[in-house]
Structure 1
Amino acid sequence: MGWVNIGRCRLAWWIGFAIALLGMASGNSLSALAQVHPAAPAQQPGGGDPVLTQRPPPKLKTLLIPEGRIKLDVMVNDAAGKAVVGLEPWDFKILDNGQPRKVMSFRAFNDAEVKPDPPVEVILVIDMVNLAFQQVAVTRQEISQFLEQDGGHLKVPVRLLLLTDAGMRVQPRSSIDGNALLSVVKQIKGGVRTIDSAMGGEALLERFQRCSRQVTAIAENEARVPGRKLLIWVGPGWPMLNRPELGYYSARDQQSYFDGIVELSNRLREARMVVYSVAPYIGADTTFNIRYQDYLKPVKSARESDPGDLSLKVLATQTGGKILGPDNDIVSQINKCIVDANDFYRISFDPPAAEHADEYHDLKVVVAKPGVTVRTNTGYYNELPGH
């Protein structure tokens, strides 16, 4: 009996000691867990249902998807011209020379929710080389009104480039302060084109060379800068030369023009640059306005090249831009270009292996929605490895 009683006391003591140790250990564990896990839902007074507490949404990791070699910015509009947003990767079909290509990467941007980073930049070129004397004052006034909209608060960054007979004057940085940009516009003065008096006649070849070189230089510089750009060219465009106007047209000339076409096409795409033609009123003659359509054919070899293939409206069509005017409401024309800035899709694909250098491929992007218009690059030049 005595042993039993003593054993029970010892047993009770050991049990109590063990419980105390477990309590200390569990207290430490619970304290550690409390640092990792949020507190349990609070109980309502009177033992009611627990009160739900708000937790911050989990941070989603950004998945880095390798892009394909050919990258495209695609704009989709409905029948009224409004941007179509909310499309998914499976809504797009890429046709390369009529053959479907796999969409390697996809990103959707829209002005309301997901804006591109860096912001889309507008490069506004004022072409004094091809503007007639009577058009200069109207153009200067209209661009000033554009910059003064909404108190000078521009929707997108704008950079001004002024093309004169003396060359291109470039504003170093873009700005969303339209009032600050007005000082550049005030420097524009009307005058007779000195390039005409120096070269004689209309100086068609000189004006063509001056402008085509400047467009290529802009594209080369912007290809080094990340982000998407809208190149809005204010002016009627440069002369669309053809063989009769040039006189003798050698195989060497054709190869030179073809090389220029390939180079400019590649640089514009790499620079993510969309070209827009904004034109003031030029008179009743509409021949100049529609003549560019003769040069929209794909240029697959040097034998098919013409200087007209490098004209402004051809570049606008091939890059997915717009051709606006001619009229003297230049403010409205520029605004119609800028609505394309932030509503677009970025997709990419891998081209097939090229069989030869400067191999032209026709491009078409189809969207599985009725009544929509799709604008993007209409073609590209596939290159051999290492080129």
Structure 2
Amino acid sequence: MVAPVVSLETEVVRVPLHTPFVTALRRTEHAETLVLRLTDADGVTGWGEAPQVWRVTGDSLAGSQACLEGPLRDVLLGATGLTAAVGAVQRAVVGNAAARSAADVALHDLAARQAGLTLAAHLAAYAGAEPDRGEVLTDMTLSAGTADVLAEAARARVADGFGTLKLKVGADPAGDAARVRSVREAVGPGVVLRLDANQGWDAHQAVRILDEIRDLGVELVEQPVPRRDLLGLAHVRTHAREVGVPLLADESVFDLDDLVEVVRHRAADLVNVKLAKCGGLTPALELIRVARHHDLGVVIGCMMESHLGVGAAAALAQATGLAGAGHVHDLDAGWWVTGSPYVGGVSYDRDRIVLPDAPGLGITGPAG
């Protein structure tokens, strides 16, 4: 960053979904997010967003807006140095991960635009790495539902070009194995299946279900037990390794302290890094570095947010060598909305996230 930040604007964006999104934690028919715009003295604008995720992060639109318009405004206006500014953002408030993420992403987007670099190229340079030119691939979520509904949705999503499906389970543990079997029978052996219980099982249920699905070729199981139950998660992992199914920690890892505890308990094989959960691109880079140091795999995910947040997460994947063959992330949120609320930015081509060849996130303004 060179020219100082002179303007901060926030706007609530509510975009309808074409299909209701249902998990063990919630049901929603809209993506609700708070968009942040930072503009420097030369008229260059950086974009960020703070999605509302009451049941995961606890962040609301009103709370994020108050945070960005209050204490974070004080550290953002006048900012000229990226490293100092992103550090100040992370220190300015406790919690408020979505607001911190919006500020952090907007600062990185602004710096990338000032340098004339894509966000991925900027992040790679910031982290001292070479950007990955590989494609960023995403799975597709199947909302929680009956076995028949899931099987029908699975066939439709495969026809749409998605080779990796993530089944939302956990709302009815007794019937989850039958749901997985129904989907496997519907799509055949060539489609990759992931399960996400969203904390909906206890450790004993998880072990039982792993036994029941051991012949169904499940690639991984995400967050089977409640967030704080690391002993239970570690117990499930021991059994999961016996049946050959890795565990992915999501809600159990918000920040670096959480990741250290997961490592200490040997509770997971992979970690799901989400910007609105950890506080932005800067802490996400650190989480990825530490996870790799401890031989944990990394999936980059998203909340129910817009193309803006998906674009930042996809750029993070390219910047950290997590693109291309062997890497399928969890970045389908933009697919669910009826249309992008922005001009420019990322788009979808079947299961591929198409990043723009333009400075920063490539967003030039609101749609319409």
TM-score by length of 1: 0.27
Q: Which structure ranks higher in relative contact order (CA pairs < 8 Å, sequence separation ≥ 6)? A: 1
